[in-house]
């Protein structure tokens, strides 16, 4: 059966200054669509694997924009439901003089914050090989938390989990720990390793994750590259980034490329190499998916990764 990845989560419309000035002063802003699961799915699709987005959007222009953006990325949108009672979430990204970014979310009461078991059942009914979820979705509220738990426990479906822990959102560490025994791929950031495993040392993270029942872990270190496990020992893969414009979304691009490569039969080393190339492109462009390689460039990178 050909691999099919379904991501369950929220995508929003993103506004960010287009003239390099902070939000409070900018005269123009660029408009993008972003969200952890959709970002990941875009990279999965660019790696040559079928991808579908399961979510809710409002009956508004922002919802239309989310759907059209996903379709332009090659992500299937038949699992996106329209909620006429709630709006599509939006957020804004501020760029500071020192290069730091600050993000302001306006997602309280959004359509996707009402995700629940019905959405999980819709995702599973599509027959995915893999369901991708993140801690961000679980943190949206009780309904999304139940939806994540439902897809994670489905027989015959592999779980790809990106913790995406955010201090400003509801704590979900307890749920993530509960999901580890059914997680096929854990796409883990170094900053998330400590709250989940009590350590950020790669070798020990791999040992504790295996003891918890996780199938495979890739440890994302941002500018420090990433670590994979080979024969039980950590192997470091350096970052490919050379030009930094906006780092937001790079971790999702890495995770999606890694997952897509693994589903195509590429080994962890090649998958991590591919993830680093996808992430480098996203870091070098504004928006969360604008820097992904085009179809031809992505196919060439996948071919190179398959040789590793």
Render pLDDT for 96-136 as a digit per residue (tens, 0 to 9): 655 567 888 999 999 999 999 999 999 999 999 999 999 99
pLDDT attached to residue 128: 97
Beta-strand runs (E) in the chain: 4-8, 12-17, 29-34, 50-58, 76-83, 90-95, 101-106, 130-134, 158-162, 183-189, 216-220, 226-230, 233-237
* pLDDT score recorded for residue 100: 66
Structure tokens at 13: 């419309």
Q: 4-305: which CATH topology?
A: 3.40.1190
Which residues of the chain are under the pLDDT cut of 70? 1, 96-100, 167-170, 242
How far is 159 from 53, CA to CA, in rounded Å? Answer: 15
pLDDT at 99: 58
pLDDT tens digits for 247-293?
777 899 999 999 999 999 999 999 999 999 999 988 887 777 888 99
Q: Helices in 23-80 by DSSP H: which ranges?
A: 36-46, 61-72
Q: What residue ranges do the domains of the chain occupy?
A: 4-305
- Specify the pTM: 0.94
pLDDT at 169: 65
Cβ 250 vs Cβ 294: under 8 Å: no
Residue 101 is predicted with a pLDDT of: 74
Phi, psi of 88 (to 5 degrees): -75, 140
CA distance 60 to 58: 5
Residues marked as catalytic = 252
């Amino acid at each position: 059966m050909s691999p099919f990845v379904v991501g369950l989560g929220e995508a929003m419309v993103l506004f960010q200054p287009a003239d390099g000035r902070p939000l409070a002063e900018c005269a123009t802003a660029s408009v993008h669509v972003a969200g952890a699961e959709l970002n990941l799915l875009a990279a999965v699709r660019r790696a040559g694997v079928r991808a579908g987005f399961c979510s809710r959007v409002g009956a508004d222009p922002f919802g239309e924009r989310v759907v059209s953006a996903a379709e332009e990325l090659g992500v299937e949108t038949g699992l996106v439901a329209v909620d006429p009672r709630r709006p599509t979430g939006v957020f804004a990204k501020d760029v500071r003089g020192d290069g730091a970014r600050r993000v302001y979310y306006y997602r309280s009461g959004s359509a996707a914050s009402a995700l629940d078991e019905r959405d999980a059942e819709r995702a599973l009914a599509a027959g995915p090989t893999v369901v991708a979820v993140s801690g961000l979705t679980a943190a949206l509220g009780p309904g999304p938390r139940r939806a994540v738990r439902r897809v994670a426990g489905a027989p015959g479906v592999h779980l790809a989990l990106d913790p995406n822990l955010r201090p400003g959102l509801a704590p979900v560490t307890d749920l993530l720990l509960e999901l580890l025994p059914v997680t096929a791929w854990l796409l883990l950031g170094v900053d998330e390793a400590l709250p989940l495993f009590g350590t950020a040392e790669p070798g020990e993270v791999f040992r504790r994750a295996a003891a918890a029942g996780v199938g495979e872990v890739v440890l994302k270190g941002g500018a420090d590259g990433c670590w994979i496990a080979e024969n039980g020992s950590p192997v470091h893969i350096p970052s490919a980034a050379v030009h930094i414009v906006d780092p937001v979304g790079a971790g999702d691009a890495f995770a999606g490329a890694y997952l897509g490569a693994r589903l195509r039969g590429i080994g962890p080393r090649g998958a991590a190499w591919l993830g680093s190339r996808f992430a480098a492109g996203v870091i070098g462009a504004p928006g969360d998916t604008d820097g992904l390689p085009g179809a031809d460039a992505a196919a060439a990178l996948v071919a190179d990764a398959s040789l590793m």
